[in-house]
Chains A and B, each alone.
Chain A
Amino acid sequence: MDLSIYVKVKVQEPLLSVQGLSKFYGKRIGCDAVSFDLFPGEVLGIVGESGSGKSTLLSCLAGHLAPDSGKVIFDTAQGPRDTVVMGEAERRRLGRTDWAFVHQNPRDGLRMGVSAGGNVGERLMAVGARHYGDIRGQALDWLGRVEIAADRIDDRPTGFSGGMQQRLQIARNLVTGPRLVFMDEPTGGLDVSVQARLLDLLRGLVRQMGLSAIIVTHDLAVVRLLADRLMVMKGGHVVEQGLTDQVLDDPQHAYTQLLVASVLHV
């Protein structure tokens, strides 16, 4: 039998290794002792109800919030580094190059007073691009990839629909070729038909670019279609994690069983 069709898991270092990450708001728990590894090309979903700590965790991972304890070790070009103790300037550079952050509300991730092309081009300039023709060419290419018509390049996103704004935010984030994308409810404010298109777009981009992603959402249907692995949070703690369809089809923890059983089927 031809053994070449076997795909073995390559021995590789995790792209992101999170160890004992905790954040408290006074006496209240934000997230407590969260640990996991994320490997290149993997998509991790984080689900839980409002106040479960999933957004706090994402903010701590992305360096928007300083955790009280724990490590967030990222495999940088210079080798694994703990981004928690990294200098602010260096962490910001990481945020412009290897990392990207897609906000739930596109207004938080876009510059609303700048044209669509400018929103994408600005990120290229932040990493050193200076040639106007190249920048405009790349912006145009990315608008096409997220299905925004070329003749909208000079329009401001204020005139775009919610779905278009969200696609523009994704283009702005991915144009610099990040290796890790943090997403906070990326399909949250969109109506169902627009969500489906965005999900397909994200799946294709993740596959083509070999991206790793961490997606916070409360929508179990979204994680089933997008995430390889799933982490379930409640009260700041991770109560269960595993393969996405295993967690959804055979949940082991009482809270996950309740969560899965509560979904309405159409």
Chain B
Amino acid sequence: MIKISNLSKSFTLHNQGAAVIPVMTGAHLSVAPGECLGLVGASGSGKSTLMRLIWGNYVAATGSILVGGVDVARAAPREIIALRRGTLGYVSQFLRVVPRVPTVDVVAEPLLTLGVAQSEARARAEHLLAQLNIPERLWSLSPTTFSGGEQQRVNIARGFVHPYPAMLLDEPTASLDAVNREVVLTLIEAAKARGAAIIGIFHDEAARARLCDRVVDVTQFSPAVPA
């Protein structure tokens, strides 16, 4: 479902003496449907960089990133837009929404862009919000004023509202209490069971052990630092 070969990435800082900073080289991995791959490595080793390369908001220098048959490293913007709409889901650590939009609409939006009817999209959003223990009185409010843990659960609801065949999860359990952590882990297990290919970053070691079929240490993709 996801296959990365010979992927490298560098940043060129034009306004700082055109410094070129290589951050990743020769990355390769693959994830099959129903499989969960954990990315590990110290902070700054490139876990999030790899996630962003797959999501397509970072430009790859070389290599290919195949997601459901689309090479994100080479695809036209509208192919990536279509990929994100139906195939590739992403639960980031941050919630980015239009201010003042009700939580239930924020969660239902991915379905509306897929053409699901308003009533059904809302019903599915409400079901997930209830499952994630977001109190019903908050559904009509904008999530921008919510606590960190609530915002994260809204983000998770938004990422799981459509059954994406491929998913990227960036620390989905980071700021959750034990009850909600369990709900999220169950959601991820259900996604695996229906055949989703998942790449995740989990600092929560117990969660990683329970969910991940394999782990990849991204440190091995770091460019050699000249002594």
- Specify which chain B residues have a CB less than 8 angstroms from the CB of A193 in the assembled complex: 99-100
Among residues 180 to 224 in chain B, which have CB atoms less than 8 Å away from a CB atom of chain A?
Answer: 195
On whether A39 and B78 interact (CB within 8 A), knowing A200-B100, A200-B101, the answer reads: yes
Q: Does B82 contact A (CB under 8 A)?
A: yes
B110-124 interface mask toward A, CB cutoff 8 Å, 1 = contact, 0 = none?
A: 001110000000000
- Specify which chain A residues have a CB less than 8 angstroms from the CB of B227 in the assembled complex: none
Q: Does B81 contact A (CB under 8 A)?
A: yes
- Specify which chain A residues have a CB less than 8 angstroms from the CB of B164 in the assembled complex: 5
Whether B77 pairs with A228 at a CB distance below 8 angstroms is yes
- Specify which chain A residues have a CB less than 8 angstroms from the CB of B162 in the assembled complex: 5
Name the contact of B113 in the complex, choosing from A207, A242, A252 (C-beta under 8 A).
A207
Q: Does B86 contact A (CB under 8 A)?
A: yes
| CB of A124 to closest CB in B, whole Å | 26
Give Cα A149–Cα B58 distance, bound, in whole angstroms: 44
Give Cα A260–Cα B11 distance, bound, in whole angstroms: 15
| CB of A174 to closest CB in B, whole Å | 18
Whether A243 pairs with B114 at a CB distance below 8 angstroms is no
Would you give 22 A-B contacts (Cβ < 8 Å), ordered by A? A5-B165, A7-B83, A7-B85, A7-B86, A42-B78, A42-B81, A196-B100, A197-B100, A199-B98, A200-B98, A207-B113, A225-B96, A229-B78, A242-B77, A243-B77, A243-B80, A246-B58, A249-B58, A250-B52, A254-B15, A258-B14, A261-B15
Q: Closest 10 interchain pairs by CB? A: A7-B86, A254-B14, A196-B99, A245-B57, A243-B77, A249-B57, A250-B58, A9-B82, A1-B195, A200-B98
Task: Known A-B contacts: A42-B78, A249-B58. Give 17 more (CB < 8 A).
Answer: A1-B195, A5-B87, A6-B68, A6-B86, A7-B83, A7-B86, A7-B87, A9-B78, A9-B82, A193-B99, A193-B100, A196-B99, A200-B101, A225-B96, A229-B78, A242-B59, A246-B56
